[in-house]
C-alpha cells in the first residue's frame, strides 16, 4: 500500500539535547555467527552496531548505551529467538536515551511469564525505522515511565501467537510521555489488540491497521486511559472473525491522565463483521469532565452501532449497504490521503485540561 510521507511531522528524537557527542563514535560489526551481546558489551555511547543481513539465531541483548544506533548493514537482519531471551523479557531490552534501531526483524519471543517481546523498552527515548515484529508474545512492550518517548516509522507488526488464555498485543505502550506511530502496518492479531497505548500523548498517523481475513484481534486501536490522542489518515479494518465488536476504544479502563481528548480525523474504517460494530467507542463517564471526542471527515463502511461514527454534518460518511454502495466501499478500502500533522494540537495545554473549541462528541 502506497502512503505519502508526512514532511511536517517533527521527529521526537531529533533534539540536540538528546544526541550524545559522536566525535569518537565507532562502527562495530556483527557477522552471522558472531555474538551480539559480546559486541554490544564493547560498544560505547554514540556508537553504531551493524548486523550482517540474514538470519541471526538466539541473539538477545540489553542496550544501555545512550545514542546507540543498531541497524542492519544492508537489507534486513532477522533476529530469531530460538528460545533465548534477555532478562526473561525480550530479544532486545532498551534502557537508554536517544537509541535508534533500523532494519531489524524480531521473531519468536517467548518467556516464562508469557509476555516475551521483540523489544522491551524500559526507559529513555527510542526510535524505530523499517523494523518488523512477527510471532512474538508481545511485538513491542514498554514499561511505565512518564518521561519515556517512543517514535515508530515504517514498521510492521503481525502474526500474534494463538495461545489460549493469553492476550498477545502487537504493540503495547505503557504510561509513557509520548508515542508516535507513522506509516506502519498492523495485521494478524488474535484476542489481543493491534495497538494499545496508555501514553499521555498518542499520535497515530497514516498507518494500516487491518486485521485481515484470518485475524481475530480485539480492538484495532485501544487507548484505555484516555490522554491526548490524534488518530489521523489511517486505514482500519475489522475482521469477520473478531469477537470484540469495536475498532477504536477510548477510555475503557478509566482516566490516568489529567488531560484527555481524542481527535479521529480523515480515516477510512471498514468492518467485515456481520454484526453492527462500534467504529469509535468511548466511555465519557470514566474520563475527565472536560474530555472531548471529535470525529471529522472520516469514511466508514459496514454495519455500525448508532452514534459510533460521528455526524454527517462533520464530514463523516457511513456506507452500510455493501451491494448498493460497492464502489464507495472499495473507496473505503483504500488508504486515505495522508496530510497534516497532529503535534501542535496534541500537546498538553498549560494548566488544567482544555477542551477543543467547536469539537463534536459521539457517545455510543
Confidence of residue 17 (pLDDT cuts 50, 70, 90): very low
Query: How large is the average pLDDT for residues 76-96?
Result: 97
Q: Is 347's pLDDT higher than 50? A: yes
Q: Is 143's pLDDT higher than 80? A: yes
d(CA 215, CA 233): 22
In this prediction the pTM is 0.87
Instruction: Give per-residue pLDDT as tens, 196-248.
Output: 999 999 999 999 999 888 878 889 999 999 999 999 999 999 988 888 899 99
pLDDT for position 5: 40
Q: Is 162's pLDDT higher than 70? A: yes
pLDDT for position 346: 59
Of residues 11 and 62, the one with the higher pLDDT is 62
pLDDT for position 94: 98
Q: Is 73's pLDDT higher than 90? A: yes
Is 50 in contact with 71 (CB distance < 8 Å)?
A: yes
pLDDT for position 345: 54
Query: How large is the average pLDDT for residues 178-193?
Result: 92
Confidence of residue 357 (pLDDT cuts 50, 70, 90): very low
Is 230 in contact with 205 (CB distance < 8 Å)?
A: yes
Amino acid at each position: 500500500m502506497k502512503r505519502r510521507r508526512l514532511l511536517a511531522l517533527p521527529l521526537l528524537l531529533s533534539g540536540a539535547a538528546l544526541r550524545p557527542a559522536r566525535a569518537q563514535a565507532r562502527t562495530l560489526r556483527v557477522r552471522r555467527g558472531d555474538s551480539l551481546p559480546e559486541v554490544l558489551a564493547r560498544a560505547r555511547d554514540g556508537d553504531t552496531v551493524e548486523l550482517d543481513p540474514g538470519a541471526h539465531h538466539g541473539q538477545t541483548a540489553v542496550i544501555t548505551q545512550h545514542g546507540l544506533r543498531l541497524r542492519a548493514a544492508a537489507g534486513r537482519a532477522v533476529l530469531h529467538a530460538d528460545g533465548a531471551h534477555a532478562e526473561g523479557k525480550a530479544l532486545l531490552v532498551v534502557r537508554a536515551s536517544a537509541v535508534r534501531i533500523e532494519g531489524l526483524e524480531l521473531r519468536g519471543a517467548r518467556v516464562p511469564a508469557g509476555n516475551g517481546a521483540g523489544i522491551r523498552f524500559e526507559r529513555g527515548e527510542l526510535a524505530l525505522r523499517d523494523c518488523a515484529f512477527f510471532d512474538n508474545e508481545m511485538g513491542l512492550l514498554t514499561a511505565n515511565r512518564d518521561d519515556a518517548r517512543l517514535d515508530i516509522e515504517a514498521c510492521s507488526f503481525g502474526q500474534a501467537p494463538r495461545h489460549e488464555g493469553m492476550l498477545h498485543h502487537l504493540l503495547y505502550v505503557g504510561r509513557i510521555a509520548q508515542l508516535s506511530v507513522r506509516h506502519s502496518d498492523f495485521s494478524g492479531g488474535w484476542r489481543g489488540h493491534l495497538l494499545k497505548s496508555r501514553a499521555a500523548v498518542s499520535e497515530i498517523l497514516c498507518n494500516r491497521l487491518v486485521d485481515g481475513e484470518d485475524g481475530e484481534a480485539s480492538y484495532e486501536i485501544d487507548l484505555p486511559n484516555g490522554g491526548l490522542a490524534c488518530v489521523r489518515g489511517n486505514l482500519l479494518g475489522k475482521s469477520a472473525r473478531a469477537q470484540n465488536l469495536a475498532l477504536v476504544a477510548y477510555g475503557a479502563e478509566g482516566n490516568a491522565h489529567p488531560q484527555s481528548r481524542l481527535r479521529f480525523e480523515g480515516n477510512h474504517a471498514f468492518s467485515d463483521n456481520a454484526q453492527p460494530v462500534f467504529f469509535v467507542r468511548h466511555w465519557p463517564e470514566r474520563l475527565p469532565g472536560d474530555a472531548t471526542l471529535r470525529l471529522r471527515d472520516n469514511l466508514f463502511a459496514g454495519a455500525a452501532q448508532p452514534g459510533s461514527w460521528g455526524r454527517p454534518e462533520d464530514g463523516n460518511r457511513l456506507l452500510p449497504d455493501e451491494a448498493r454502495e460497492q464502489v464507495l466501499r472499495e473507496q473505503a478500502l483504500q488508504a486515505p490521503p495522508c496530510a497534516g500533522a497532529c503535534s501542535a494540537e496534541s500537546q498538553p495545554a498549560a494548566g488544567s485540561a482544555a477542551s477543543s473549541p467547536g469539537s463534536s462528541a459521539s457517545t455510543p
